[in-house]
Structure 1
Amino acid sequence: MTKYMVTGATGHLGQKVVTQLRKLTGIKNIRLGVHTPAKAIHLKNAGYELAAIDYRQVATMTKAFQGVDVLIYIPSITYNVQDRINEFENSLTAMKQAGVCNLVDVSFIADQPNNPFQMAGYYAYLPARLASSGFQYAVIKNSLYADPLIPYLPELIERHNVIYPVGDQAMSFISRADSAEAIANVAVKPYLRNHGQNYLLTMEQNYNMVELARLMTAATGKQIGYSPVTLQKFADIYRAEGDGDELASMYRAAAMGLMDKVTNDFRHITGHAPQNMGDFLKQNYQRTK
């Protein structure tokens, strides 16, 4: 019996990975890494095995990783590169001490050496670090999540425009549900995860902002155009929410053409196409009404 562990199991992506993994391997083979077990009591009541983890404490994670065969590593949410690297290094140390040999690492499209996104240094470091780690592993990079577009739509309807400061460049997207399906499939299939593979999950096409605005118009029935603001203006608008500068650095990368790559990796992993943006927006916008 193979034991799988998912870190960040109560997060937006983690919950969906757990659901997909359960379909493929059964609940008894899954352990959930959670930072606050008291907040995950519903998962314990549902039959899941819980383990407390703290990325800053090797001893805690070593205990949590005992008996695990495959670790699905979903990192914490932070915009501090050094903190993220330290957390990952602690996790690798705990894996070695616990005897975990197989890793599925969740990463992001922004890993080019010239990418100005604030967290690009972490994503660029991952594949080289793992290549020398001695583990059997695969890196799964997500493109931009489509999911945050849904709660963003009322603001865009009010503005009458998409305002992303990316000019005429396109961006690639994937839904969290599709990402989770691919991650779970890689985790349970050794031939997909044991040879240092580096996947990028995207829809079958990317979208420039004119295309995206037209799809939003079709999904909502409200006219949405494209009128980009400057990077500085975008950062100023969303700084109060805590991530304005970080998001602006990501869209700076997009404006450089660094966030538009498209692959067939999702189809290769799952055997079918990912959901396209038009269908995703229509389906999920209707659910919010």
Structure 2
Amino acid sequence: MILITGSTGHFGKATIDHLLEKGVNANSIAALVRDDAKAIELKAKGIQIRKGDYNDYASLKSAFTGIDKLLLVSSNDLQDRLKQQQHAVKAAREAGVKHIIYTSFARKNETDTSPIASVGKSHIETENLIKESGIPYTLLLNGLYSDVLPMFFGEQVLQTGIFLPAGNGKVTFATRNDMAEAAANILMGYGHENKIYTIGNTESYTLQDAATILQEVTGKPIAYTSPTIAEYTSALTQAGVPAAYIDIFAGFSEAIKQGEFETAGTDLEKLLSRKPATLRDYLTSVYGRK
């Protein structure tokens, strides 16, 4: 039995869809949900629903009972993520889960000097907990999703261009859908125990590359401006963007500038048995002329 956490989120839902498309029986897939009302679509597909909450260890232990392979999709609660995932790993061990696959993140700098240290620390500590648990594991060091770009660009990107303090840093952007398919292939396959996979594209892109592609697929002039962090913070503050979001965007932009998300190699193509979707493919799907 396979169990997917975060099953009503983008990554979890996509993984389940890929499993079904590849012929895995719905009755051999379980989905962890907090709210039954959000599981109607999953139930309609024949997926077994298990109630559980990252904040409730007992519920996780019950939900994980009888599970062979667990896809632990990282919590999106940045403040309490580590505590929640401590519950999940402990519950998996106590419930007898036989293999845990965790969606972590690609990085180069694991110290407090990283511009995204506050985000990365919980991932790194969760990886260590999983290794120490004695459960066979697969760690997915996921790079940046192509799917985050519309959020970074803003709704007026076709009018105002790209404004991010990311310099000329390169990123191996890959789509969430491709990463989810890779996770599905691991869940279906064998020989992935105690492996660490770097998940990114085969090509690296700067934000200037993104602007050039965006201009080509829309037919509109798209400029890329890389301001200082102070200029960026000031501009977004004046635009009414909440401070918490500004800090996150600025942190990830600085990480891009420092090359944190340009991986030296990738396992994604091997796991997919095909080339991943390119940045052009993604931007065309979102912004291409209709």
TM-score by length of 1: 0.90
- Alignment partner of 1:279: what SS? helix
Q: CA deviation at 1:148?
A: 3.1
Deviations 1:89-110 (A, max 9, x none): 1001111221112101001123
Give the aligned partner of residue 60 of structure 2: 61
The answer to whether the 8 A contact 1:172-1:262 is kept is no
Partner of 1:93: 90
Counterparts in 2 of 1:109-258, with a 5 A limit? 109-110=106-107, 112-114=109-111, 115-117=114-116, 118-150=118-150, 152=153, 154-159=155-160, 161-192=161-192, 194=193, 196-235=194-233, 237=236, 239-240=241-242, 242-258=244-260
CA distance in 1, matches of 2:149, 2:179: 16
Report the CA distance between 1:263 and its aligned residue.
2.3
Q: Percent identity?
A: 26
Matched residue SS, 2:7: coil
One-letter code aligned to 1:140: L
Partners of 1:74 and 1:281 lie apart in 2 by 25
Distance in 2, matches of 1:78 and 1:72, equals: 17
- Aligned equivalent of 1:9, options 3, 7, 10: 7
Cα offset for 1:286? 3.8
Taking the aligned partners of 2:273 and 2:97, their CA distance within structure 1 comes to: 29
Q: 1:69-104: CA deviations, max 9, x gaps?
A: 100001221222xx2111111001111221112101
- The one-letter code matched in structure 1 to 2:199 is L
**For residues 208-234 of structure 1, what are the alpha-carbon distances to aligned partners after superposition, in whole Å with 9 as ceiling and x for unaligned?**
121111011112211111111222343
Alignment partner for residue 102 of structure 1, among 94, 99, 102? 99
Instruction: Specify the code of the residue in structure 1 equivalent to 2:107.
Output: A
Supply the RMSD in Å over aligned alpha carbons.
Answer: 2.0
DSSP-derived class of the 2:49 partner: strand
Q: How many residues align?
A: 281
Deviation at 1:7, TM superposition (A): 0.3
2:156 partner SS = helix
- Whether 1:43 aligns to 2:42 is yes
Structure 2 Cα separation of the partners of residues 241 and 74 of structure 1: 27
Which residue identity is paired with 1:216?
A: L
Structure 2 partner of 1:27: 26
User: What is the Cα deviation at residue 10 of structure 1?
Assistant: 0.7
Structure 1, gaps ≥5 residues long = none
Which sits farther off after the overlay, 121-130 or 232-241? 232-241
TM-aligned CA deviation for residue 262 of structure 1: 4.5
Task: Give the CA deviation at 1:150.
Answer: 4.3
